[in-house]
Amino acid sequence: MSDIDIVFFDAGETLIHPHPSFPELFAAVCARNGHEIAASDVEAVQELLAPHLIDLAEDTGVTQPSLDPDDSLTFWTFLYRRFLEELGIGDPGLPKELYKTFSDSTSYKVFDDVMPVLPALTESGYRLGLVSNFEGWLENILVEQELGESFDVSVISGLVGLEKPDPAIYRLALERAEVEPGRAVHVGDSVAMDVEPATEVGMKAVLLDRVGRYRGSEHLSITSLEGLPALLPNL
């Protein structure tokens, strides 16, 4: 057993994901509305826009979309509209249809590696926590996916009024867990939103790079949660 007392997790693309995937679900919504596109085309646009999401967010005037329902609608419909523009689709009603789908808890599933790993960590003596940029309805997803009782500490941006990468959301998680930063580790899929702010407050951090987005990164990383239990005793 390491000196780590609690393992915090991000939610989106770490524990849960749009089902069957973001590109496939996006393409399916478009098809239902008369626009046949390939999931691979959506994936290509996703890769194109991903490095520019912060700049795109500035264009909306919304900096913390999960903290207010109206801001969430503004931000995500703007982003979906940009996706559609890149795909050559000008349907004005489609962004709201996409928002409705991606705001529905039934559109999400747990990654296959989550259910075996979380109980294994608990059995090894680690407490579990959650730090996520998500609207409050993340709680519904967790319950429906049988994760509702998994976390000793849960800090969801839409419920606490703080959003990553603000280090304050990590400090709040540490305060609620009553643990020193050096005895906590955070696991997430983003360098900017997970690894850097968690490290800034003194936590240890593990980058979960499921799709090889950060190949060659200097940060401690794994490609599946299956690699986490063996990693923790060495932190």
Let me know: does 94 contact 80? Beta carbons within 8 Å. yes
pLDDT in tens, 66-86: 999 999 999 999 999 999 999
Residue with tokens 């990590």: 170
Q: Give pTM, 2 decimals.
A: 0.92
Q: Give me the CATH code for the 6-17+108-234 domain, please.
A: 3.40.50.1000
Domain residue spans in the chain?
6-17+108-234, 20-107
Count of positions (residues) in the chain: 235
Helix, strand and coil percent figures for the chain, each rounded to 5: 50, 15, 35
Cβ proximity of 143 and 126 under 8 Å: no
- Give per-residue pLDDT as tens, 95-116: 999 999 999 999 999 999 999 9
The string of pLDDT tens digits covering residues 23-67 is 999 999 999 999 999 999 999 998 888 777 767 777 888 888 899
| Architecture of the domain spanning 20-107 | Orthogonal Bundle (1.10)
Rg over CA atoms, the chain? 18
